[in-house]
């Protein structure tokens, strides 16, 4: 996507956040090189425990679907709402062992700037937009492990945990193509 599109995505995300709460500011992204995020492609996804909003815990090493889509999102971001609805359709249109989609809510801040450490915000967001994707909360550490900083970020992982693709932002056609490539089929 290039540095210019990454900067534009960051500026758009900050503008959206300003509409919700002008007192909150995104942290300045690190100096970004186009290859930094893509350097993860072909590597194993970090083995971490995820705290799910339903109270369970899962390990990323336990993913069993042919393809797992990990969707980093934040409740204040309109693009995340759109991508979440699309990925909900993907999840519910696929058999269990082909594609799994897991939402990874970032450690958001409340109006005082304090980190939210409960699943309440993630649950409320999903109820508001009408999705029931399995989601984890408090995933900023995993996001940072990938050197990601654009929200949403979509990571596509194969059944062995190898990262096949990482996309900053959301482009439905690119996600469809990436999923088709991961499954070895023609994109719809």
Cis-peptide, bond into residue 108, ω within 30° of zero: no
In this prediction, residue 35 carries a pLDDT of 58
Q: Looking at residues 152-159, what average pLDDT do you find? A: 94
∠ Cα 170 45 84 (to 5°): 30
Q: Helical H runs in the chain?
A: 3-20, 34-38, 78-92, 120-129, 140-145, 172-183
In this prediction, residue 28 carries a pLDDT of 61
Has residue 2 got a pLDDT over 70? no
CB 156 within 8 A of CB 179: yes
In this prediction, residue 18 carries a pLDDT of 76
Report DSSP letters for 122-136, one per residue.
HHHHHHHHT----EE
- Tell me the per-residue pLDDT of 74-100, one tens digit each, with 9 for 90 and over: 888 889 999 999 999 888 887 655 889
In this prediction, residue 184 carries a pLDDT of 87
In this prediction, residue 57 carries a pLDDT of 94
pLDDT bin (cut points 50, 70, 90) of residue 117 is: low
Element (H, E) at 172: helix 172-183
57 three-state secondary structure:
strand
Q: CA quadruple 162, 164, 168, 170: dihedral positive or negative?
A: negative
User: How far apart are alpha carbons 167 and 10 in whole angstroms?
Assistant: 14
Has residue 143 got a pLDDT over 70? yes
Longest dimension (CA), the chain: 48
Average pLDDT, the chain: 83
Q: What is the percentage of the chain residues whose pLDDT exceeds 90?
A: 41
Has residue 1 got a pLDDT over 50? no
Report pTM: 0.79
Q: At what angle do helices 172-183 and 78-92 cross, to 10 degrees?
A: 30
- Tell me the per-residue pLDDT of 32-65, one tens digit each, with 9 for 90 and over: 455 577 788 999 999 999 999 999 999 998 888 8
pLDDT, greater one: 30 or 140: 140
CB 94 within 8 A of CB 61: no
Query: In this structure, what DSSP letter does residue 152 have?
Result: S
β-strand pairing of 67-73 with 99-105 = parallel
Tokens in use for 84? 């979440």
pLDDT bin (cut points 50, 70, 90) of residue 111 is: confident
∠ Cα 146 1 168 (to 5°): 40
């Amino acid at each position: 996507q290039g540095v210019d599109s990454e900067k534009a995505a960051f500026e758009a995300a900050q503008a959206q956040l300003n509409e919700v709460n002008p007192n909150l500011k995104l942290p300045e992204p690190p100096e970004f090189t186009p290859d930094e995020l893509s350097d993860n492609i072909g590597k194993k996804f970090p083995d971490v425990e995820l705290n799910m909003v339903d109270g369970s815990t899962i390990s990323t090493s336990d993913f069993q679907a042919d393809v797992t889509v990990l969707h980093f999102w934040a409740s204040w971001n309109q693009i995340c709402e759109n991508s979440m609805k699309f990925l909900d359709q993907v999840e519910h249109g696929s058999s269990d062992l082909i594609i799994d989609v897991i939402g990874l809510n970032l450690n958001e801040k409340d109006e005082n700037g304090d980190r939210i450490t409960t699943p309440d915000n993630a649950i409320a967001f999903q109820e508001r937009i009408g999705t029931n994707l399995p989601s984890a909360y408090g995933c900023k550490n995993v996001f940072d492990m990938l050197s990601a900083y654009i929200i949403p970020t979509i990571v596509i992982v194969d059944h062995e945990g190898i990262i096949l693709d990482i996309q900053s932002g959301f482009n439905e056609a690119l996600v469809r193509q990436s999923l088709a490539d991961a499954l070895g089929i023609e994109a719809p």
